[in-house]
Amino acid sequence: MSNVQNVRALAAETLYNVVDKGASLNQELPFASQGLPLKDKALLQQICYGVLRYLPSLENYCQHLVEDPLKGKRRIFQFLLYVGIYQLQHMRVPPHAAISETVNALAQLRALGLKGLINAILRSFQRQQVELEEKAKLIPVCLYNHPNWFIKQVKEAYPDSWEDILAENQQQAPMWLRVNQAQYSTQEYSDMLTANDIEHTLNPDFIDGIKLAKPRDVFSLPEFDTGACSVQDAAAQLAARFLEPKADDTILDACAAPGGKTCHILELADADVLALDSDSTRLERVKQNLTRIGLGADLQCGDASQPHTWWDEKLFDRILLDVPCSATGVIRRHPDIKWLRRASDIEDLAKLQNDILDSIWPLLKPGGTLVYATCSVLPQENQQQVAKFLANNDDAEHIPLHDKDTVTMPGLQLLPGESDGFYYAKLVKKI
């Protein structure tokens, strides 16, 4: 990516790399925002997230406005149009500024010859906006701004709430803190936030959590740098609580990166934790998080589906198995998931999850506890996966997490809203 400072140009390049090249927004944004002032970094993120949230609608508008689609080497300018239209439709940027800054991006993108075209298309959108929006609403993929395959699967799984799920995916996710109970109680840290005029709320369903009224820089939080709290969604905070770690337990946190759940386990109990992940770079994040809160775990780079390559044959008292998944429960935090994921991926992921669960189960002591977790809302990765495992393993006992948690419909499914979309199931190995 060229080292440009026009935020709209950077946004167009970033979006091109994500949508057309299949790159992760999490990887592209930090690279694109290097050297930018904080205000411009925030603007770049807002534009990129917004375009990805409304991509089908933006594509539809351009189909009506652009006679000759911008393809091949000119494809990046298609994304510049999305950037411009998104600003006009959804942001508080004055229309004249949105158009002029978008057109000015062409200088950075070395395409001054397209100034007249881009300017004309954006002004045409201004004139036709109401009509274009009404036309787009007649097309489901534009009305909901999700891929058709995902709309279909969510509708089948949640016939009474599917539209709510899709609507929540379009919202900005709340910023939740997890209080380090080894340092402060949730109420004590809440009092510290109040003393610092940081508006927040508590929720009895998430006993370690505090939801901020609006996102803020973590280093403005009291004692963040010494580990008093961590940023972690409320749903993810349930993992360690369901695992119920005890002092001196030997615990495997499989697929541990970036380490939020590893840290939480150690905040709750002085346990012997092995944090496993197949990605050495992401494992470094686990180390950094542990260092900040002043706690330690054994870190191991290894594939959870291949224990023979890393396991020392000592059984674990507890295992947290947060398996690779579609991440369809955290779309509002990662809107690129909608466009990077394919329907065919779900079957492949379900097979991988099954392989990992089958491979890890023998590592658990008789009487030991395994918590299966995903950040997915799709039953193939969740209830169906665990129900199949229970049917095939006589030594697995199902532990209900709520009144309607049964062997045939096991686990707890959280949907996007107060928290992210997450799934948990709790199993104990029979003695």
Tell whether 297 is in a known binding site. Answer: no
Tell whether 256 is in a known binding site. Answer: yes
Q: How far apart are CA 207 and CA 26, in angstroms?
A: 29
| Residues in contact with 160: Cβ distance below 8 Å, sequence separation at least 6, in sequence order | none
Chain-centroid distance, C-alpha 261? 15
Tell whether 20 is in a known binding site. Answer: no
Q: How many CA atoms lie within 13 A of 23 on its CB side?
A: 16
Using CA atoms, how far residue 67 sits from 62, 70, 122, 131, 401, in Å, is 9, 9, 14, 18, 56
Paired tokens of 18? 């994500």
Does the bond joining 245 to the residue before it have cis omega, within 30 degrees of 0?
A: no
Please say if 301 is a catalytic residue: no
Tell whether 322 is in a known binding site. Answer: yes
Other CB atoms within 10 Å distance of the CB of residue 301: 15
Tell whether 298 is in a known binding site. Answer: no
Question: How many residues are present in the chain?
Answer: 431
- Of 360, 375, 362, nearest to 276 (Cα)? 360
List 48, 62, 325, 375, catalytic entry = 375
Q: What SS3 class is residue 180?
A: coil
CB 52 within 8 A of CB 373: no
Q: How far apart are CA 38 and CA 40, in angstroms?
A: 5
Tell whether 303 is in a known binding site. Answer: yes
Paired tokens of 104? 């000015």
Q: How far apart are CA 329 and CA 362, in angstroms?
A: 29
Tell whether 197 is in a known binding site. Answer: no
The single-letter DSSP state of residue 217 is: -
Tell whether 269 is in a known binding site. Answer: no
Paired tokens of 410? 């096991």
Other CB atoms within 10 Å distance of the CB of residue 302: 18
So which residues are the catalytic ones?
375
Q: Which residue ranges make up the annotated binding site for S-adenosyl-L-methionine?
A: 255-261, 277, 303, 322
Q: Which residue ranges make up the annotated binding site?
A: 255-261, 277, 303, 322
